[in-house]
A and B are shown apart, each in its own frame.
Chain A
Amino acid sequence: MDIDLISNILYAMVRTGTPLLLIALGELVCEKSGVLNLGQEGMVLMGAVAGFVAALLTGSLMLGFLLAIAAGIAMSLLFGFIALGLNANQVATGLALTIFGTGLSAFIGSDFVGKPITGLEPFALPLLSEIPLLGKMLFSQDMIVYLSFFLFAAVYWFFRSSRPGLIVKAVGENPHAANAIGLPVIRTRYLAVMFGGAMAGLAGGYLSIAYTPLWAENMSAGRGWIALALVVFASWKVERVLLGAWLFGLASILHLVFQGLGFSISSNLLATLPYVATILVLVLLSRNQVRARLLAPMSLGKPFHASS
């Protein structure tokens, strides 16, 4: 295998992993605050359709991404109102959000199926992109991929050394204690849920504007669910989310490479590779029960009533 091929594989790995990384980072923040939002898939699809339609009608990709984010936030607010405002069961609400988002996005997008737009072009950074092997992977990507690098670093820093990050962790671990010392539990959870929505919307926009610039019904292909699993198997650790997302990207690419090289393995079997590989690696990483118990937000999925 020559160096160009490897460099191309790495490039595609990051590109394929980016939507997962975005969704998973959003869900990570959300879950750290103690809210389990299973509506990722629905939010991603709404982001995808809103972003695509906006980009197609206005011709502005920027506007497309902004609308994608707005759609994600709007969906997450719907979730927040039901799950946090009305204290409904988070699992049921999240599932409903996915079903709702899937249906609504198909309805909105029905007139736009198959229409082409000019997608987001990569933007190679001068000099840096010349670095052998890693240059293409890290510095010849499009703006959203660069943004995902930045967001990864931001979320990492947020939980490692910022006071708001500490508050999010505290609220997710013991909301009653947090309330007792005067931390705004519900507001914190709302903000975390909205961040999750924004990230899922952005990921949707990335899919329909940059990754494959078109709209197709159900085009997220389960990425919302994979991202959810990623967060759990990454034991709520930011750096492992990045690892898992890129690993998934790598395995997705490998199955194309294998097919291209003419391996005589069923393509369906190969298509399962990303899922199997990602889960396998993360399970191995998180097999230490002691660590896993310390890392999971203790009040994940439990509604909070201030009065009790």
Chain B
Amino acid sequence: MAEAHITPPRLTLRRITKIYPGCVANDSIDLNIEPAEIHALLGENGAGKSTLMKVIYGLVKPDQGEVLWDGMPVEIKDPAQARKLGIGMVFQHFSLFETLTVTENIALALGDDAGDLPSLAKRIREVSEKYGMALNPDREIHTLSVGERQRVEIVRCLVQPIKLLILDEPTSVLTPQEVETLFVTLRKLAEEGCSILFISHKLDEVRALCHNATILRAGKVSGECKPADESSQSIARMMVGDDTPISTDYPKVLREEPFLQVSGLNRVSDDPFGTDLHNISFSVNAGEILGIAGVAGNGQEELLGALSGEDQVENHDAIHFPHGAVGHLSPRERRAAGMAFVPEERLGRGAVPDMSLKDNALLTGFLTGLVNRGMIAHGKTRDFAKQIIERYKVKTSGTEAHAESLSGGNLQKFIIGREIMQNPKLLIAAHPTWGVDIGAATAIHKALIELRDKGAAILVVSEDIDELFQISDRIGAICHGRISPIKPTPDTTINEVGRWMAGDFAEVEIKA
């Protein structure tokens, strides 16, 4: 049928198959992207989106299938060739070099076309202004915010002639307002004839932006649709299949008996690139979930460090449990007082990658009778790990599996399960569903709500504002190390919290 087209599709994938040992990442995938089309690629983690993208960008060689570019068969051997064809890619984990300037970063990617740096800097300024993405070419990357870094990645693609722009989960690091700006840029690009492949799992965004969508499940195309004609629910169904429950609304509650009280918390960051905390005050009540939104790098790490006890604060009273000040206590002492903590990094802080699940269960579970006079009770520990695995449906080969062998979502279920099974009175969770698929995210949300209903105080720090609206009873935001007002979730809107995330709030008075 290709002959019938007056202009052939920009990109056609035919029966692309990629097999890794033990898993078929892509199973005979077909995909068509027309010029000027914004095409969504949807799917859960592990559905094969990343592999397919890497095939298009020349990072992975498919075992079977063919790629047609403007109607002509091509073999894309490496990213350099992909860029020569006019394919640009914006990575989820930015491929930028922290200690180099914006111009130097872009020069590296352009190769010999870069020309001399001053004229390249001028080109960068022109492109960034044309598409409404303010950028200073002379800044070093480590001084830029996450949103600005993403602009560098996009501009890097745009300073060359571009025909297909691939964006991998581009909105996961942006405030709702920044997302709007990005969409304006993308629509403008598409109007100019550039095709866009937009990879996401945020269905509302896909419905707002994309013309067509291809949905992957378990390495196969499970559906194609026009997102604007579908509901988020029906698209989600295509992503997860018929068996997995899709998230629901949870009843909101209002409680008044505070468990964790933070008042006037100030802290200068140890990290030269960190954020100082200014006058942070809030409380988390027993039996509620407090959500704190914010774009990464606005002081979340420092706040979590101070709350978990990894960093002790000078003013002991700044952090208060019902039985007294805890600002000077170690993580272990705080845990003994009823706190549990789920850190942001799963591998390395939440779990030790090359230790078994059983040993990882012991790491924080040791306070609950797994250690007997200094000796590890191996049997009990194994049972504890087994219970976590069963109760939270962790997909793994068993308690002896290494933590690193689990997928992100499964490991997160294990870590959260480990903390919840200790019956904490206070649970602090950082980005509990980051990079986790819908099924696992729903399971994690349910577990949190269950714990809340048992009367625990829960603090959730997350960049995913939709998630916070779904599970939090009260919500606030952190920006530049300052905390916004905190309101009951039903009394605020995504827009208002979005403005708080951008720092648009009058500072809260410290209550005595």
Contacts and interface: CB of A to CB of B under 8 A. Distances in A.
Interface of A: 163, 166-167, 169-170, 173-174, 176-183, 289-290, 293-295, 298
- Which of B59, B95, B104, B114 has the most chain A CB atoms inside 10 A of its CB? B95
Contact of B97 (A170, A182, A289, A290): A170
A182 B79 CA distance: 5
- Which of B80, B98, B99 has the most chain A CB atoms inside 10 A of its CB? B99
B379 interface: no
B83 A169 contact: no
B112 to A, nearest CB: 8
B363 interface: no
6 contacts: A170-B97, A177-B96, A180-B95, A181-B108, A181-B156, A182-B109
B95 A174 contact: yes
Interface string B240-262: 00000000000000000000000
B224 interface: no
Contacts of A181: 79, 95, 108-109, 156
Contact of A169 (B82, B99, B272): B99
A298 B108 contact: no
B97 A180 contact: no
Given A177-B94, A182-B111, A170 B100 contact: yes
Given A167-B108, A293-B272, A182 B83 contact: yes
Contacts of A289: 272
A96 B59 CA distance: 34
Contact of A170 (B78, B91, B108): B108
A177 to B, nearest CB: 3
B200 to A, nearest CB: 20
B59 A177 contact: no
B107 interface: yes
Contact of A182 (B78, B91, B99, B104): B78
Interface string B127-142: 0000000000000001
B82 to A, nearest CB: 8
Contacts of B59: 179-180
A173 B142 CA distance: 13
A111 B505 CA distance: 82
Per DSSP, chain A at the interface is helix
Interface residues of B, number: 24
A182 B84 CA distance: 11
B83 to A, nearest CB: 7
B75 to A, nearest CB: 16
Contacts of B79: 179-182
B81 to A, nearest CB: 8
Given A289-B272, A290-B272, A293-B272, A174 B107 contact: no
A177 B106 CA distance: 12
Contacts of A298: 98
Interface string B84-127: 00000101001111111000100111010010000000000000
Given A181-B79, A182-B79, A173 B107 contact: no
Given A180-B91, A180-B95, A166 B100 contact: yes
Contacts of A183: 108
Contacts of A293: 272
A166 B104 contact: yes
Contact of A173 (B83, B99, B111): B99
B425 to A, nearest CB: 38
A179 B78 CA distance: 9
Contacts of A294: 99, 142
- Which of A167, A180, A181, A293 has the most chain B CB atoms inside 10 A of its CB? A181
A177 B98 CA distance: 11
Given A182-B79, A289-B272, A177 B107 contact: no
Contact of B107 (A163, A178, A179): A163
Contacts of A174: 95-98
